[in-house]
Amino acid sequence: LTEKLQNVFKNLRSKGRLTEDDVKAALKEVKMALLEADVNFKVVKSFVKEVQERAIGQDVMNGLNPGQMVIKIVNEELIRLMGSETTEIKLQPGSAITVIMMAGLQGAGKTTTTAKLAGKFKLKGKKPLLVACDVYRPAAIKQLEINGEKQGVEVFSMGDKIKPADIAKAAMEHAAKNKNNIVILDTAGRLHIDEEMMAELQEIKEAVTVHQTILVVDAMTGQDAVNVASNFNDKIGIDGVIVTKLDGDTRGGAALSIKAVTGKPILYVGMGEKLSDLEQFYPDRMASRILGMGDVLTLIEKAGAEIDEEQAKKTMEKMKKAQFDYEDYLDSMSQMKKMGGLSSIMGMLPGMPGMGNKKMPELDSEENEKKMARMEAMIQSMTVEERRNPDLLNPSRKHRIAKGAGVDIAEVNRMVKQFNETRKMMKKLPGLMGGMGGKKGKF
Ligand code: GDP
Ligand code: MG
């Protein structure tokens, strides 16, 4: 998949401007990529159409080539489709009990996810009660009890002779007495969608007030997941979805299809069998995953980071004029950290061959990240005068700074040396200003 998309870039790289034909050609490949990621074909079709309408005639942003621009739009539309923000499970106000019913096919991960959710709620200071409503699989009740115990939350069960709806009712009485504020009903699934399962869920809903019906789907079922989701949504109505088993190598196209078809938000994703492996759903991360090109997207993001661009320009300008002082040094360091290190910025600038990782590895290293904090302390221990006029620093001033920052004098000397080198190097950089936010990217 990634290879395919890289080919799209290769094909577009040599061209200066994007014509309607170019957009169509690029999107044809994107279409294939999405299908390979297991996105439902109907969703792919309408998605591609929408992106095409948006892409043709749009200005290519500074710092991006036309091919990247198309991918940027693709990425944005994916994020928009999946809901631009994360969604929380809606709880009842005050001390009222929120009833959550888990639904889904057998093996989707309902029981595991029930226990995972209980852990999350517990961390938020809630008192959840887990209810064993799966009376068909002999081990189901035991499984919930074991997981509940691991999470330190109570499990309510009545064996396998009582109807799930009646168990749910009894559980509500127990919860009221026991002062639980969240009740999670773990229900039974079937291997396939069938009337009996739906009827049973409906019965539970009639017996108790269910505030949130959460559908659990297995990401690895790919295309099937969308049928499952729309079926459940039509028959019993769902409020949100949890996609499990995203720790596998599936691209997770199911997440996109489900949201597009049901319109219901994805709340969490299951990232493993351990009870802590439940993560908030982030549409932007999911979009990257579905497109399968993290590096490219990171680069596009950086090129589009306009907020910091102005400040970066100012710093660069000062650097060039060698008015560069310790305050700028501190600024530029944190600026570079934000943008992924100096060498990565250099790599993005045209006309800077060979200025990549080789020349300044120390600016990117992790060790340097740690040094940042100490450096900050040293610069803060300087007087304003010293910061503005770096040449003032003499041995006695350096001693005072070292003492103030709680570091060795050798470390102060090292920083001064590094600062002077940076200042010298910055003076030599040719055409850097023209490069920031430049015309052509790396691709
Ligand atoms: P249920 O039939 O819907 O209740 O499904 P279970 O909760 O019993 O889960 C079925 C299997 O999937 C179990 O072996 C779980 O450990 C596993 N499982 C559930 N969620 C995840 C997940 O996010 N990642 C992985 N790798 N396995 C999971
Ligand atoms: Mg189960």
CATH number at residue 162: 3.40.50.300
CA of 109 to the centre of ligand 1 (A): 4
Mean predicted confidence (pLDDT) in 59-78: 78
CA 26 / ligand 2 centre spacing (Å) = 43
Residue 265 CB neighbour total at 10 angstroms: 19
CATH at residue 41: 1.20.120.140
Find the ligand nearest to 141 CA: 2
Per-residue pLDDT, averaged over 318-346, amounts to 65
* ipTM > 0.95 for the complex: yes
Ligand nearest to the CA of 276: 1
Question: Is 109 inside any structural domain?
Answer: yes
Dist. CA 233 → ligand 2 center (Å): 20
Verify that 104 and 12 share a domain, yes or no.
Answer: no
Residues 364 and 243 in one domain: no
Shared-domain flag, residues 80 and 175 = no
Instruction: Determine the average pLDDT of the residues in 85-91.
Output: 87
441, part of any domain = no
Continuous H helices in 322-439: 326-339, 342-348, 366-380, 384-388, 395-405, 409-428, 432-435
* pLDDT for residue 13: 41
135: pLDDT strictly greater than 90: yes
Regarding the beta carbon of 304 and ligand 1, being less than 6 Å apart is answered: no
234 and 166 fall within a common domain: yes
Between CA 31 and CA 37 the distance in angstroms is: 10
Q: If you measure from the C-alpha of residue 107 to the centroid of ligand 1, how many angstroms do you get, rounded to a whole number? A: 6
Q: Which residue has the higher pLDDT, 68 or 418?
A: 418
Cβ of residue 109 lying under 6 Å from some atom of ligand 1: yes
Q: Binding site residues for GTP, as ranges? A: 104-111, 186-190, 244-247
- Looking at per-residue pLDDT, the higher value among 180 and 3 belongs to 180
pLDDT class of 24 with cuts at 50, 70, 90: confident
> Does residue 90 fall inside a structural domain?
no
Which of 343, 349, 270, 319 has its CA nearest to residue 419?
A: 319
Residue 122 is assigned to a structural domain of this protein: yes
pLDDT of residue 309: 56
Decide whether any atom of ligand 1 lies within 6 Å of the 252 Cβ: no
Other CB atoms closer than 10 Å to residue 389's CB: what's the count? 12
- If pLDDT is split at 50, 70 and 90, which confidence band does 175 have? very high
Do both 73 and 142 map to the same domain? no
pLDDT tier, 337 (very low <50, low <70, confident <90, very high otherwise): low
Question: What is the number of the ligand 1 atom nearest to the C-alpha of 271?
Answer: 23
Q: How far is the CA of 303 from the centre of ligand 1 (A)?
A: 40
In a domain, 64, yes or no: yes
**pLDDT 10s digits, 219-259:** 998 888 889 999 999 999 999 999 999 998 888 899 999 98
What pLDDT, on the 0 to 100 scale, is given for residue 26? 75
Residue owning tokens 């929380």: 88
Higher pLDDT, 365 or 92: 92
The predicted model scores a pTM of 0.68
CATH, residue 390: 1.10.260.30
Domain co-membership, 235 together with 178: yes
In the annotated binding site, the residues are 104-111, 186-190, 244-247
Residue 345 shares a structural domain with residue 420: yes
Report residues near ion ligand 2: CB below 5 Å. 110-111
Examine the domain organization and report whether 168 and 252 are in the same domain.
yes
Long-range contacts made by residues 342-349, C-beta under 8 angstroms, separation at least 24?
344/302, 345/302, 347/442, 348/63, 348/299, 348/302, 348/303, 348/441, 348/442, 349/432, 349/435, 349/436, 349/438
Measured from the CA of 104, which atom of ligand 1 is nearest? 3
Stretch 165-171: mean pLDDT? 97
Which of 249, 267, 300 terminates a domain? The answer is: 300
| Pocket probe mutation, ligand 1, options 146, 185, 187, 273, max atoms within 8 Å of Cβ | 273
430 versus 351: the higher-pLDDT residue is 430
pLDDT band at 113 (very low <50, low <70, confident <90, very high): very high
38 and 122 part of one domain: no
The residue range of the domain holding 370 is 307-435
Query: What mean pLDDT, rounded, does the chain reach?
Result: 81
pLDDT at position 251 is 86
Q: Does residue 273 have its Cβ closer than 6 Å to ligand 1?
A: yes
Is the same domain home to 77 and 104? no
So what's the pLDDT on residue 302?
61
Task: Say if ligand 1 is within 6 A of residue 262 CB.
Answer: no
> Which tokens sit at 409?
């004098």
Res 1: pLDDT? 47
pLDDT value at residue 91: 94
Residue 219 domain-assigned (yes or no) = yes
From the CB of 279, is ligand 1 less than 6 Å away? no
Nearest residue CA, atom 20 of ligand 1?
109
Could you give the number of structural domains in the chain? Answer: 3
Q: 87 and 267 in contact (C-beta within 8 Å)? A: yes
The two tokens of residue 143 are: 């499984």
Evaluate: CB of 102 within 6 angstroms of ligand 1: no
| Ligand lying closest to the C-alpha of residue 279 | 1
- Same-domain check for residues 249 and 353: no
| Residues 78 and 112 both lie in one domain | no
91 lies in some domain: no
**Beta carbon of 23 within 6 Å of any ligand 1 atom:** no
92: in domain? no
C-alpha to C-alpha distance for 174 and 159, rounded to whole angstroms? 16
